[in-house]
Amino acid sequence: MDKIRYKQAQKLINEAGKFTGNREVLKKPQEGIIDSKLFGEILNDMMDLEDYILESRPTHYLKKEKAQEFCQQIITIRGQLDVLLGDFGVLEKPDVEGEIKTLSDKYLILIPKSNFKKVLTKFTVDPQKIVVTGVPLEIEDMKKLNPHLPDAALKSIEKKISHVKNDINRKMGQFNLENVLVMVEEDDSGEILAERARELYNAKTVSLGSLKDLTSDEFLKILSGL
Amino acid sequence: MECQDYGLNRNIERDNLNLNPLQRGGVLTKEARKALYEFSDGYSVCDYCAGRLDEISRPAIHHFLDDLAEFIGADHVRTVHGAREGKFAVMHALCKPGDTIVVDGNAHYTTHLAAERNQLNIAEVPSNDYPEYRITPESFREELEYQEDYGDDVSLALLTHVDGDYGNLTDAQAIGKIAHDHGVPLLLNCAYSMGRLPVDAQAFNADFVVGSGHKSMAASGPIGVMGLKDEWADTVLKLSKKHAVKEIEMLGCTSRGAPVATLMASLPYVIERVKKWEYEVSKTRLFVDKMEKIGGIKQIGVKPKEHDLVRFETPVFDDIAGKHPRRGFFLYEELKKRKIVGIKRGQTKWFKCSSYGFTQEQTDYIANSFAEIVEKYK
Ligand SMILES: Cc1ncc(COP(=O)(O)O)c(C=O)c1O
C-alpha cells in the first residue's frame, strides 16, 4: 500500500513540475486584496521546512524519501503562493472544476460507497460515469472479507455483484469508455476491490486515507497524475 | 543619523553543527518558530491582560503555568527573565544584606553575581579534586555544620543541579534533605537540567527551582522559570502595597511577548524530549568513548557521563598547535572546514562541547572529524 502511495506522490511531483513549467505566464499585478490568512499559512509552512535543514546538517543532503517529503511540502507552498498571486491577477486562477470535468470524462469511476458520489459530482464529475459498487466484484472476495456469512446472504450478494458488473459493462458501452478508475480507502475491503478491478478491467487505482475528505485540488492532481 | 550595518544575520545554526553546550538546548521547535513570528511585536501577549501576566487567559499563560508547575513538581511557577533573575528574586525575598548563603563550588558566575547584588556572603562547598570535581552531599553537610558551629546563620543553600564547567549532575535529593535537616531552604539551579532531564522539585526536596528557557527549554528567551513550594509563596510572591495586584519580586511583569510565547509553544515538545533523556546520555557516553579512543583526549568531570555537557582535556591538539603555522587557531579552522563550530578560536588545551539534540549520525560525524584532524597532523 505504501508503495502505491509513494508512486502516486512521485507522479504528482512530476506532473506538478510540468504543469507550471509549461503554462506559467505572469501578468502585471492588478489591484486586489491580500489573503492575510493564507499569507500566515505560507509562512508557517515555510517554517516547518527548517527542520529538514537542521536534521540534514552539515551536508543538507536528503535521501530520496526525505527529498520527496520536502519537495511535496514546497509544492504545496508554491500552490499557495500562486493563489496569492492569483488574487492580483498575476497568475490566472486555475479553472479546477473545468479541468476535472475534462480529465475525468474518459473514465468510468468505481467507488465503494455512495456518500463519495456526492463529493465527486460536486467536483463536476458526470454522475452517469460513476458506479457505486457497494460490494466486492467477486463472491470469493466477499468470503475473504467475511468468512461467516450465511448462504442466503451470499446469494443476494452474488446477485448484487452481477448487477454491478452489468452496470459497468453497460456504461462503458453507452459512453464509449475504455478506462476504469477505482477509488478506494486504505483498508482491506478497499485493497481487495482495487486489486479485482485491476484484474477485471485493467483499472487504474487510487487509494486514500479518507475519500470524503478529498478536495477538488487534490482530485485534480490525482487526475493529472494518472 | 545613519545607523551602521549591525550584521543581523546568523546562519551558524543552519549550516553547521554547533558544539557549544550553551547553544544546544535552546534551539527552537517548529511550533516555537511559528509562535515567534505570531508574537513578535512588543507587548503581544498583553492584549487581554487584566494586570497580571501570570493570569492572562489569551494566550492561556495561566494554563501554561499550571502545566509547567506540574512538569517540574512545584506548587507555584512564574516565568522570569532567566535562571539568574530567578536566583536573584529568591535571594532578595529570603535574605537581608549581610546574610550568608551556602553555595556549591561549581556554581555558575550568575549565582555569585546574584548574591553580590543582594550583598550576601557566600560560604562555598568545595568540590573534590581533579579530574572529577564532584560535589558530594557529605561536603555540603560539612559546610552547613561548620557554619552552624563557627559561622553565621545560613539563610539559603544553593545547589547547581548540573554545572556548566564539567556537566556534573549532583545528588539534589540527598543535598535537599541535608539542607532541610539543618533548617535551611534549598534553591536548586536547574539551568542545565530543566527541559533536558526530569526535574521534580518535590522529589528533590527543593524549596525553589530555577530553569533557563533559552538554555534548556527550546525557547528564544530571555526567559527563565522559577518554581516554589507553597509555603514560600507569601514571601517570594509578595504583593505591592501601592499596586495591589503586582508582585514585587517580579517587578510587576517579567518576560512578555516572544520569549514566553516560544517557551509555551515548546513545552509539549520539551515534556516529551525529557522522556528520552537516557538516549541522550548514552549517545554522550558513546561520543566520549570515541573521542578518548583517538588518544591524547581525556574527559574531565564525573565518569561515566550523566549529562550531555562534556569537558575534554586535549593535549593532542595542544601539541599540534605548538608546531602548526596557524598555532592555536588550527583546530577552529579545521573544524570550520568540516562545518563544525562552537569551540572557541585559539582554544586547544581543553574545550567543552555537547551533541545534545543531534542525531547519532551527526554525532558520529563530529567524533570522526576530530579523529580525522588528529590523523592529518600525526
Ligand atoms: C549552571 C548555570 N546556571 C545559570 C546559567 C545562566 O542562565 P540564564 O542565562 O538563564 O540566567 C547558566 C548559563 O550558562 C549556567 O550554566
Q: What is the pLDDT of residues B136-153, one digit of tens each?
A: 999 999 999 999 999 989
Same domain, A83 and A175: no
Same domain, A149 and A80: no
In a domain, A162, yes or no: yes
pLDDT over 90, % of chain B: 98
Domain count, chain A: 3
Quickly state the pLDDT bin for A187 (edges 50, 70, 90): very high
Q: Which of A94, A122, A142 is the last residue of a domain?
A: A94
Same domain, A180 and A131: yes
With an 8 Å Cβ cutoff, are A48 and B339 in contact? no
Same domain, A111 and A187: yes
Same domain, A208 and A105: yes
Same domain, A20 and A71: no
Residue B261 Cα, gap to closest chain A Cα (Å): 15
> In terms of CA atoms, which chain A residue is nearest residue B31?
A48
In this structure, what C-alpha cell is assigned to residue B93? 525575598
Distance between CA atoms of A182 and A222, rounded to whole angstroms? Answer: 12
In a domain, A222, yes or no: no
* ipTM of this predicted structure: 0.85
**Is the predicted pLDDT of residue B154 greater than 90, yes or no?**
yes
Contacts of A41 in chain B (CB under 8 A): none
Grid-cell match 532578595, residue found:
B92
In a domain, A194, yes or no: yes
Distance between CA atoms of B234 and B96, rounded to whole angstroms? Answer: 17
Q: Kindly state the average pLDDT of the residues B249-255.
A: 96
In a domain, A11, yes or no: yes
Backbone torsions φ then ψ of A6, nearest 5 degrees: -60, -45
Same domain, A39 and A25: no
Same domain, A121 and A82: no
Quickly state the pLDDT bin for A213 (edges 50, 70, 90): confident
- pLDDT, greater one: A218 or B94: B94
Lowest-confidence range among A208-222, B24-38, B215-229? A208-222
B350-353 and B340-341 beta bridge pairing: unpaired
Contacts of B223 (CB under 8 A, 6+ apart): B79, B80, B81, B82, B212, B213, B214, B255, B259, B260, B262, B263
In a domain, A139, yes or no: yes
pLDDT at A225: 84
Q: Kindly state the average pLDDT of the residues B233-237.
A: 98
Same domain, A209 and A134: yes
pLDDT over 70, % of chain A: 89
CA dihedral B368, B370, B375, B378 (to 10 degrees): -160
Asked if the C-beta of B2 comes within 8 angstroms of chain A's C-beta atoms, the answer is: no
Name every residue in A having a CB less than 8 A away from some CB of B.
43-44, 47-48, 50-51, 53-55, 57-58, 60
Number of Cβ pairs closer than 8 Å across A and B? 33
Quickly state the pLDDT bin for B115 (edges 50, 70, 90): very high
Binding site membership of B24 for ligand 1 (Cβ less than 6 Å): no
- Report whether B255 contacts B222 (CB < 8 A): yes
How confident is the prediction for chain B on average, in pLDDT?
A: 97
In a domain, A223, yes or no: no
pLDDT at A24: 66
Q: Which of B81, B108, B111 to mutate to test the pocket of ligand 1 (most atoms within 8 A of CB)?
A: B108
Same domain, A89 and A127: no
Same domain, A43 and A139: no
**Is the predicted pLDDT of residue A92 greater than 60, yes or no?**
yes
pLDDT at A3: 47
Q: Which of A78, A94, A110 is the last residue of a domain?
A: A94
Q: Which of A47, A51, A57 sits opposite B16 (nearest CB)?
A: A57
Q: Kindly state the average pLDDT of the residues B129-142.
A: 98
In a domain, A201, yes or no: yes
Same domain, A202 and A103: yes
Q: Which of A67, A94, A121 is the last residue of a domain?
A: A94
Quickly state the pLDDT bin for A226 (edges 50, 70, 90): confident
Around Cβ B3, how many Cβ atoms within 10 Å? 5
In which domain, by residue range, is A70 found? 33-94
Contacts of B304 (CB under 8 A, 6+ apart): B285, B288
In a domain, A182, yes or no: yes
Could you read off the pLDDT of A10-67 as tens digits, one per residue? 555 455 444 444 456 899 999 999 999 999 999 999 999 999 999 999 999 999 999 9
Residue whose C-alpha is closest to residue A77's, from A35, A54, A47:
A47
